[in-house]
Structure 1
Amino acid sequence: MREQPEQQAPPVQRLRIRYAKRGRLRFTSHRDFSRAFERAIFRARVPMAYSSGFNPHPRISYANAAPTGSASEAEYVEIGLAQVLDPAAVASALEEALPDGLDVVEVAESPGGSLADLLEASHWQLDVPANPVSAEAAVAAFLQAESVTVERMTKKGLREFDCRGAVVALSAVPHGDGSRLDLVLRHGVPAVRPDDVLTGLRAVGGLETGPAPLLTRVSQGPLDPETGTVGDPLHPSV
C-alpha cells in the first residue's frame, strides 16, 4: 500500500488581501497573477500553511477575479498562515515582492466565513468615446428594457443570456472627450460582465464603445439592496 502523506496543521491565521491591477498589468490573466502572487509569497518569506495530501499546496483562495484586460482597484485573495503575523507587515512585504501594477491595497484579518459569499456585486466605471448625449440616451433605452439578450463565446461555445437583470444601477456622465458609465453589477449565474453590458448598450441604444474601452472595477463586496451601493468585504460591518 502507498504510504499515507503527513497531515498538515490547519492555518493559525487567515488574512484577506485587497490588491489592484493597474496600467498594462490589467492584461494579466488570472493564471499569470496566481503565479506572480505565489512567487511573491515565496520571496517575501510569508510562512504559509499548506494543504494535506500527496501534493501539498499553499493555502490560497482566489475570489471573483476581474476579466483579463479590465483594470481593478478591488481584487481579493485569502491566505492561510502557519504563524500569526501583523497584517500591515505582510502588506509591506508583498508590496515589495509584487511587480508594479499589481499593488497591495490592504491586508486584514479574516473574520471567518466565506469571502466569496461577501462578493455580491461590483461597482464599475466604463470609459467610452460616445458623446454624453448619446451615452445618456443609450443608458435610458437600456434601463427601460425588461431584458437585453447578448451573446458571448465561452469555453462551452457561444452562449446567449440576459444582461439587463444583473444591472442594479447605470448612469452616464461626461468624461474627457467621451463619457464615463457608472455601473453597479450584481454577481450571479450566468456571470454578467461589464463588456456584456456594453454589448447590450450597443444593441438597444447604438452606443459607440470604441475598439478598446477602459473598464475599471472600483469596488466589489456586499450589496445594500435599499441603496444599491457596494460595501467593503474586508470590513463588512462598517
Structure 2
Amino acid sequence: MARQRTPEGPPPAPAVQKLRIRYAKRGRLRFASTRDFSRALERALRRADVPMAFSAGFHPHPLISYANGAATGTASEAEYFEIRVTERVDPESVRAALDEALPDGIDVLEVVEASAGALADRLEASSWELVVREADPAQVEAAVAAYLALEVAETTRTFKTGPRTFDTRGAVLSMAVTGVDGEGCAILRMVVRHTTPAVRPDDILTALRAVTGFSPPVPPLVTRLAQGPLLDASAGVADPLAADKGAAGLG
C-alpha cells in the first residue's frame, strides 16, 4: 500500500475575517471572462498586500469565492466575491488598495465585513438594462407588450450536457421600455428572478424573437444594474450587503 504523503511545512494561518466585495465591470472589461478576472484579482490582491488566507494541502490557493458572475460581454455594476484574510483589516482601506491594483474598468465599489448568512442565498434576482440600438422604440415597446402577454416563452440553449429547452417568461418579473437615450436608442429595463437554469438577457431576447418576430438589428448593450434580495411588492432588487452594513453599524 502506498504511503500517504502529507504537505511539508507549517499549516496555513487561519482566517480571522471574511470580506464581501462588490465591483463593477465597465467598458472593454465587460469582455473579461471569469478566468481572466480571477487571475487579475489574485495579482491585485498580492500587489495590494491583502493578508489572504490560503487553503491547506499540496496546492494551496487563496480563499476566494465568487457569486453569480455575469456572462462574458455583459457589463455590470453589481458583481460580488468574498475573501478570507489572516489579519483583521479595515474594509475601506482594502477597497481603495484593491481598486488601485486592478485594471481600469474593474472598479471596486464596496468592501464590507461579512455577517452571518451566505451571500449566495441573498442573490435572488437581477435588474438589467439593455440599450437596444438601431431599432424603432415603438417596435421594441410592441414586442415587449406581446411577450408580457404570454404565460410561457421558451428558448433553447446548449449546456455541457447538451441542448436544453426552458421557459424564460416565468423568470421575468418586470420588463418595460423606460425611455430613449441621446442617440434615440430604446432603453429596456427588466427584473429577472434567478432560476435553474439561469435565464439570461440573451435567452429572453431569443424567446422574444421566437414569439414576436422582433430581433434587435445589432446586439444590445447589456448592463446588470443590481442583484440581491427580491422585493416582492415592487419586483425590485434590494442591496445584498445591507445586513452586513447593519451589523457593522454602517446602514
* TM range, smaller chain: over 0.9
Shift of 1:133: 1.4
Shift of 1:234: 1.1
2:60 corresponds to which residue? 56
1:185 to 2:187 alignment: no
Correspondence for 1:231 among 217, 238, 243: 238
1:38 corresponds to which residue? 42
Measure the CA separation in 2 of the matches of 1:31 and 1:119.
21
1:152 to 2:157 alignment: yes
Measure the CA separation in 1 of the matches of 2:197 and 2:62.
30
Conserved in 2, the CA contact under 8 Å of 1:127 and 1:179? yes
1:128 corresponds to which residue? 132
TM-score (ref. length: structure 2): 0.90
Correspondence for 2:88 among 80, 84, 87: 84
Comparing 101-110 with 153-162, greater Cα deviation is found at: 153-162
Shift of 1:9: 4.1
Shift of 1:2: 3.0
Q: Which runs of 4+ in 1 moved over 6 A?
A: none
Measure the CA separation in 2 of the matches of 1:71 and 1:12.
33
- Per-residue CA deviation, residues 125-151 of structure 1 (Å, 9 max, x unaligned), is 011132221111111111110100111
2:144 corresponds to which residue? 139
Give runs of aligned pairs for residues 191-206 of structure 1, distance below 5 A. 191-206=198-213
Conserved in 2, the CA contact under 8 Å of 1:124 and 1:182? yes
Measure the CA separation in 2 of the matches of 1:42 and 1:210.
44
SS at match of 1:165: helix
2:188 alignment partner AA: L
Shift of 1:16: 0.5
Shift of 1:174: 3.0
2:83 alignment partner AA: I
Shift of 1:153: 2.3
1:2 corresponds to which residue? 4
Conserved in 1, the CA contact under 8 Å of 2:205 and 2:215? no
- Structure 2: which 5+ residue stretches go unaligned? none
1:81 alignment partner AA: V
1:109 corresponds to which residue? 113
Comparing 205-214 with 54-63, greater Cα deviation is found at: 205-214
Correspondence for 2:214 among 175, 197, 207: 207
1:113 alignment partner AA: G
2:147 alignment partner AA: F
Comparing 132-141 with 79-88, greater Cα deviation is found at: 132-141
Shift of 1:206: 2.5
Paired residues, number: 238
Conserved in 2, the CA contact under 8 Å of 1:27 and 1:70? yes
Comparing 171-180 with 142-151, greater Cα deviation is found at: 171-180
Comparing 176-185 with 65-74, greater Cα deviation is found at: 176-185
Shift of 1:160: 1.1
- Structure 1: which 5+ residue stretches go unaligned? none
1:18 to 2:25 alignment: no
Give runs of aligned pairs for residues 156-175 of structure 1, distance below 5 A. 156-175=161-180
Q: What is the CA RMSD across the aligned residues, in angstroms?
A: 1.4
TM-score (ref. length: structure 1): 0.95
Shift of 1:15: 0.5
Give runs of aligned pairs for residues 93-108 of structure 1, distance below 5 A. 93-108=97-112
Shift of 1:209: 1.5
Comparing 109-118 with 63-72, greater Cα deviation is found at: 109-118
Measure the CA separation in 1 of the matches of 2:15 and 2:116.
12
